Structure 1
Amino acid sequence: MNKLSRIFRPFHIPPKKKIKIFKEKDTLSKGYKLLSNYGIIGQSSTGMYHVLPMGQRSIDKLIKLISSQMKLIGAQKMSQPLLTKQSLWEESETFEKSKDELYIITDRAENRFILSPTHEQALTNLLSRELMSYRDFPQLLYQITPKFRNEHRPKLGLLRSKEFLMKDLYSFDINEEEAAKSYNKVSQAYENFFQLIGIDYCRIECLQEQNVNRSHEYYYISDVGDDKLYSCDHCNSKFHEDYVRSKNKCPSCLSFLNEDHFVNAIEIGHTFSFGTYFSDHLGSCYVNIDCKRSPLHMCSFGIGISRLISASVEILSTDEELRWPLAIAPYSVCIIPPKAGSREEIEVELLLPKIYELLEGIPNLNDDILIDDRTEKTIGKRFLEAKLFGFPFIIIVGKDATQETPLYELHDLNNEKKYLMPMSLLTQYLVEQMHFDDSNINIVLS
């Protein structure tokens, strides 16, 4: 059984008389304060954070969700070195415009390396050494690794940090048409992933930049976001502020855009189509049907895994209580048994393992149930903490469970509902609520 008393979770309930702990710039983010106060993350230094056991469980769930989508489209998981030779960035002409945000390391032989914020250069270089046939493509290669950016203004915890966990995928194809198919396939998988999380998001087309043929960004709407998105009053399409400054017209209906109608947003994903840019600079080719060398077409796709944790709770939480998307809550169910020494304790003691085993048999609840075994505390105090932490479902096993027909108090926090019901109805309710999977999601495989 998972027991709360055994989990490392520095849990601090702020006093009613507020004590100034955070810098003024961070007080805007309730998500950051809650994640820090309730033992999800812990600051190591400016812009650097420990992810504590509860936070790691949430990240592991995110990784499982995105990996399931990658498997459906045939993407292959790999790992790349965190250090990339600076010379590759120079050869690809990407070093100068990025060097202010790069961590550069010099080894004892005076070789210079970059703590990678992205891996287009490294992976393209790898493929330049492997002359493959046109029959070997497409290739969809992804990883989930720490990335590094020398942020000038790190803030709001994991929303803008110097080290962050990212899922990045790189596709390689033999021509522009095939690259477009890969771009659409991975983009659809990304949309499926965001649907599984269950928070409303928007996908917007970006202005074409140098070296980029096509690009889209994914956003959560939030007051603490650094980006501004504008909406067209006529067709409701959304655009980044860079687009408005550049064109000031909606590309969908050609109406003029109102610069006063914007919302703040947090970027959670980005997709790029680079064409043959990196291949031309770093020499990655394949052998075509005529036995001649041709440059590979490349696309790049990224999702900020650690940022998603902060962004999710920022959007869903209250000022004092965490709220999690059901699919990525550290534990979905918290069971609160009677206080030690109470009349109910002995009667429930034998019942508790059976309840735990029964609930673990529900789909998506295996190893996802936590017992608050700190029975020296009252049920009320433990329930208050469970609400603050935001366990989606809290089950109180109290005096009603000792009746001839045992009844259990179920709190559904995300839907703000409370029930008193027998175990048969409780399990039926959880089966219905925990049914989030890929069965009703559109998967594009071509």
Structure 2
Amino acid sequence: MRYLSQIFQPVITIPRDAVIKNTEITCKSQKLLLECGLVRPTSAGFFTLLPLARRVVNKLENLVNQCMEEIGAQRMSLPSLTASKLWEKTGRLQDVGVELLKVEDRHGKKYLLSPTHEEAMADLLADIGPLSYKQLPLLLYQISNKFRDEPRPKHGLLRSREFSMLDAYGAHTTPACASETYDRVTSAYRKLFDILQLPIHRVSAPSGAMGGTLSHEWQLPADAGEDILAVCHKCDSIARAHNESKVCDKCASETQYVNSIEVGHTFVLGARYSAALGAHYTARDSTPTPIFMSCYGIGITRLLAASVEVLANDKALRWPDAIAPYKLLIIGPKEGSKEWSMHGWEEVQTLGQELEAAGLAGEVLLDDKHSHTIGRRMKAADRMGYPMIVVCGRSTTENPPKYELYVSKGVGYTKPVLLARTELITEVARIAGNGNIDVTVKDSKEKHVVEN
């Protein structure tokens, strides 16, 4: 159980009549995460994640780990620096070189800060190979910081030069084997986004510089998004807007264009990287054959910002319940008030312990700024968007004491419900239990034809 005064959260307080001249604030997630003390810019495109944002990222990573482990993926860690010569061999150093942050060591060897690790993974498989066909398929993943030299970083964490990302890599013997893994990862993605309760859509997309035979983007509609989706309300088709026509390819009805944020991407790569870097497996007939690869990404820090972008209002943060920094805040009486004399700090602490024991271990935050009025603290709590707020107000002087419970819904909170202590604990446990969604991933029924 934590106390609010102990949280390192450098909130930016803007005077009511201040004229804001900072034109670099370009979207509400950037504005709110900065002003509410969750992130701090260090230079263009680089950010410090402060403790509350770090808690959100930890929770996202835990959910990703659960979903990936459920489908048999194994976590590992690759170095952030990759030898430039590997990218030269695959041709990507020339294709995307301007986006790469490059370094050279004292011996003149050239490296790059990896934005993704297809070359590094293929080089690893080549180094330990050739693998036997009996060892495949393999699905390996990591969650780590990546780097991209964005020409114009903007929108805060939505387009930065350093970002946290899940990247997973499949190694297969055949296109059919790759297709089966692709479907399993697709199911894991859908489960993750269902847990977050975000309307994220999978749409076909070009493979671009990555190459390969199959590619899908995972898009979250949002005003700040730089991609555009064509949405058909007649047949529920959603696709990338690829030309000026607003006619749906599926049913010939008119579509609506909406902005969206890409939060994930999946590819079937084929043998582009394995053939170039010598990553082979030994087939049944003992023939060395290039490994058939696939890869999968989710922007962790981008997903954090995108969630805020979609759920928050202009003045207050809102979170998917599963990743809110803390699930419940308790606001005690103002020090020196009648309520304080009858339901003081010790009672507030005891209540916090009981609520943690009811299914919120490590998720209860106590507002110990007793010198401030309840109204002032409630306003600050609303701005932070805690999923549940318990207020120890005037009704705590009753016999038995009653507490006000506020639950975050949409852009605001529900009207307060007055509950006795036992009722409060039961209700909070019920709400917390509803948030514990089963993350078991079932095999997807979707199938794809993957060609060489």
* Structure 2 length-normalised TM: 0.92
**Secondary structure of the residue that 1:44 maps to in structure 2?**
strand
Aligned partner of 1:239 in structure 2 is 239
Alignment of 1:383-402 (within 5 A): 383-402=378-397
Aligned partner of 1:333 in structure 2 is 328
Contact 2:207 2:267 in 1 (8 A): no
- Cα distance in 1 for partners of 2:91, 2:184 equals 29
Distance 1:385 1:398, change over 3 A: same
Structure 2 residue 160 is matched with structure 1 residue 161: yes
What is the CA distance between 1:167 and its match in structure 2? 0.8
Aligned partner of 2:449 in structure 1 is none
Which structure 1 segments of 5+ residues have no match? none
- Cα distance in 2 for partners of 1:399, 1:216 equals 54
**Secondary structure of the residue that 2:8 maps to in structure 1?**
coil
Alignment of 1:190-205 (within 5 A): 190-205=189-204
Contact 2:226 2:259 in 1 (8 A): yes
Structure 2 residue 267 is matched with structure 1 residue 272: yes
- Cα distance in 2 for partners of 1:438, 1:339 equals 37
Aligned residues: 438
- For residue 403 of structure 1, the aligned residue among 398, 401, 405 is 398
Aligned partner of 1:97 in structure 2 is 95
Which structure 2 segments of 5+ residues have no match? 446-452
Distance 1:426 1:30, change over 3 A: same
Task: Please identify, of 171-180 and 290-299, the stretch whose mean Cα deviation from structure 2 is larger.
Answer: 290-299
- Cα distance in 2 for partners of 1:440, 1:6 equals 33
What is the CA distance between 1:430 and its match in structure 2? 2.1
Aligned partner of 2:450 in structure 1 is none
Structure 2 residue 220 is matched with structure 1 residue 220: yes
What is the CA distance between 1:229 and its match in structure 2? 0.9
Contact 2:230 2:258 in 1 (8 A): yes
What is the CA distance between 1:174 and its match in structure 2? 1.1
After superposition, the C-alpha distances for 1:102-153 in whole angstroms (9 at most, x for unaligned) are 0011111111101000000001100001122111111111111010000011
What is the CA distance between 1:413 and its match in structure 2? 2.3
Aligned partner of 1:351 in structure 2 is 347
Structure 2 residue 15 is matched with structure 1 residue 30: no
Contact 1:393 1:410 in 2 (8 A): yes
- For residue 303 of structure 2, the aligned residue among 296, 308, 328 is 308
2:420 is matched by which residue type in structure 1? Answer: P
What is the CA distance between 1:207 and its match in structure 2? 3.3
After superposition, the C-alpha distances for 1:248-296 in whole angstroms (9 at most, x for unaligned) are 875545x3765xx311001100001101111111111111222221111
**Secondary structure of the residue that 1:127 maps to in structure 2?**
helix
**Secondary structure of the residue that 2:96 maps to in structure 1?**
helix
Aligned partner of 1:139 in structure 2 is 138
1:14 is matched by which residue type in structure 2? Answer: I
What is the CA distance between 1:31 and its match in structure 2? 1.5
Structure 1 runs, 4 residues or longer, greater than 6 Å off: none
After superposition, the C-alpha distances for 1:17-49 in whole angstroms (9 at most, x for unaligned) are 2432521x534x112111100101011011111
- Cα distance in 2 for partners of 1:268, 1:346 equals 50
Aligned partner of 1:56 in structure 2 is 54
Contact 2:192 2:439 in 1 (8 A): no
Structure 2 residue 375 is matched with structure 1 residue 380: yes
- Cα distance in 2 for partners of 1:351, 1:326 equals 27
Q: Once superposed, what is the RMSD of the aligned Cα atoms?
A: 2.0
* Structure 1 length-normalised TM: 0.93
